Structure 1
Amino acid sequence: MKVVTIATDLENAFLKRLLTTSCEAVGLDLVILHVDKEAFKFKDKRTALTRYLAQCPRSDELIVFTDAYDTLFLRGEQYIRTAYEGFAQKVVFSAEPNSWPLGAIGFALQESPPARPYPYLNSGGFIGSVGDILALCAKYPKPPSDRFPLLRHLRGHDYDTDKRFGFSDQYYWTLVRLLEAETVGLDNTARLFEYLGPAVGDVWDPNIKIGIKDFFARGKEAASYQRERERLVARLQSPSDAAQVHFASIITKAVALDLFDEGRLPDWLGGFRGATGSDRPATEVVHVGSWPNAT
């Protein structure tokens, strides 16, 4: 089993100090797919991953994909394998409380009531075999929006969801999961992956962007930072049972790094601080190539 992530910046503080160190502490082999920053877009994550998986010698090897700059691991391979075996589906995604990036349109695409506490797909963490992940990507070379009557209807009114949301691989995987529910599952109860970002009623609420802009301008003095720090500190009083946790917002991960620097992460979350690793192989860095010219 391997943990795989994609990064343009190998010196990113969260990647170096939390994700990499936590994987070493719990004995997970981490592969960092290093892509050139020039012209790389979020939607290219899928291309970089499939390019790497296509070269793997074993199609049955288990892969855990994780975001690079806002996740860390709490538990190792045996726990992950046992939890994964409890799912009926071959590929299992993290889940979250927010319909990103589709917003209210994502609500309308759901055929059943939301499964709480995390009803919607989050692509910052997923698990499956090399072969199963590659098969899904081959079956759907682009977002399958034409398979959804609502999205076709919106396109007829000049609201093209591919153009609006195609920047996000989460958009792609959300649509694939809705079509492949027997193959692709969601970790609605955080057995493997837990989302520690904020829950919002509307992901396109302009106040969210205002809060982020204020944070960039004023840092820790921003009201948005103070609110998120208060929320996250309260949330971290309760341990997670998952293997991976995801601080899924710009402000949330900034708060998490600050708490780490201040020595205020709880023991259940920051137990890898000072870990020296083991005699396992070092983290592997694989250079994927330039964008968009790489083949």
Structure 2
Amino acid sequence: MRVITIATDLDHPFLRRLLAPSCEAAGLRLDVLEGNQKGFRPRDKRALLTEYLAEQVAPDELVMFTDAYDTLFLRGADYIRTTYAGFAQRVVFSAESNCWPLGNVGLALHDGPPVRPYPYLNSGGFIGPAGDIVALNTKYPTPPSEHFPLLGRLGTHGVDTDRLHGASDQYYWTLVQLLEPDTVGLDHGAVLFENFAPTVANFCELSRWTSDFRAHGRQAASYRRERTRLESRLQSPSGAAQVHFASALAKTVVLDLLDEGQLPFWLTEVLPR
């Protein structure tokens, strides 16, 4: 088993100080693929990962993908393999409380009520045999939006979701998972992956918070709010193997807490002394 991430900045502090050391402490092999072409986009990660898996990894080898700049690991391969074996699906994604990037449109694509506490796919972490991941990318070379009548109806009104969200890996994998629920599962209970992003009713809130932080730095109300939220949440340890601070503000707060020696013991104990 191996953990794979993709980075354009190999010196990013979260990758260098948290993700890589946590993998080492957990005894996990971390392969860092460098996305170094000009104008590298989020959707380019999928092509780079697929090429690497097809050429460098045996089809039956278990691989775990993780985002590079906002994740770290708490548990090793034995826990991951045992927990993964409990899922019915061969490919399992992290899940989160927000239906991003489609928002309310995405809610309408789901059948039935949401499965709490984490109902919706998050592409910052997933696990499965290399061959199965390659097969899904081969079967769906582009976001399969044509299979969803609602998205087609939006298109007749000038709302092209492929144009709006085609650069998003999460948009792609959300549609694939909805089409392939027997193959692609979600970690609704956060036993493998736990996402620490704030829950929002309107995604415009996140962009406003980011703009506020860029304008006012750590004096911004959004920074103070996110720091208070995370300090409270981090009082309780996660039971997952990977934790994901999936917002610009969340990972800034975590790096600040690391610099200040304020991260809780259950996070710092996985880092080398």
Q: TM-score, normalised by structure 2?
A: 0.98
Q: Kindly report which structure 2 residues correspond to 1:258-277, keeping only aligned pairs within 5 A, or say none.
A: 258-275=256-273
Following superposition, the deviation at residue 210 of structure 1 comes to: 2.2
Q: Match for 1:54: what amino acid?
A: A
Q: Kindly report which structure 2 residues correspond to 1:103-114, keeping only aligned pairs within 5 A, or say none.
A: 103-114=103-114
| Structure 1 gaps, min length 5 | 276-295
Following superposition, the deviation at residue 37 of structure 1 comes to: 5.1
Equivalents in 2 of 1:210, 1:130: separation in Å? 38
SS in 2 for 1:170: helix
Q: Match for 1:242: what amino acid?
A: A
CA offset digits 1:89-140 (Å, max 9, x no partner): 0000000000100000000000111000000000000000011001100110
Following superposition, the deviation at residue 221 of structure 1 comes to: 0.7
Higher RCO by CA contacts (8 Å cutoff, separation 6 or greater): 1
Following superposition, the deviation at residue 57 of structure 1 comes to: 4.5
Q: Kindly report which structure 2 residues correspond to 1:116-195, keeping only aligned pairs within 5 A, or say none.
A: 116-195=116-195
| Stretches of 4+ aligned residues off by more than 6 angstroms | none
Percent of pairs identical after alignment?
Answer: 61
Q: Match for 1:202: what amino acid?
A: N
Q: Match for 1:91: what amino acid?
A: V
CA offset digits 1:216-249 (Å, max 9, x no partner): 1221111000000000000001110000000000
Q: Does 1:211 align with 2:209?
A: yes
Kindly report the root-mean-square deviation, in angstroms, between the aligned alpha carbons of the 2 structures: 0.9
Equivalents in 1 of 2:183, 2:126: separation in Å? 13
CA offset digits 1:68-105 (Å, max 9, x no partner): 00000000000000000000000000000001000000
Equivalents in 1 of 2:202, 2:166: separation in Å? 19
CA offset digits 1:230-281 (Å, max 9, x no partner): 0000000111000000000000000000011111111111113334xxxxxx
Q: TM-score, normalised by structure 1?
A: 0.91
Q: Does 1:199 align with 2:172?
A: no
Q: Which residue of 2 aligns with 1:98?
A: 98
Q: Which residue of 2 aligns with 1:237?
A: 235
CA offset digits 1:138-190 (Å, max 9, x no partner): 11000000000101111111111000011100000000000000000000000
Give yes or no for contact 2:218–2:224 (8 Å, CA) kept in 1: yes
Q: Match for 1:89: what amino acid?
A: Q
Q: For structure 1, which segment, 173-182 or 29-38, has the greater mean C-alpha deviation from structure 2 after superposition?
A: 29-38
Equivalents in 2 of 1:211, 1:131: separation in Å? 40
Give yes or no for contact 1:73–1:243 (8 Å, CA) kept in 2: yes
| Structure 2 gaps, min length 5 | none
Equivalents in 2 of 1:57, 1:73: separation in Å? 22
Following superposition, the deviation at residue 209 of structure 1 comes to: 1.8
Equivalents in 2 of 1:66, 1:105: separation in Å? 26
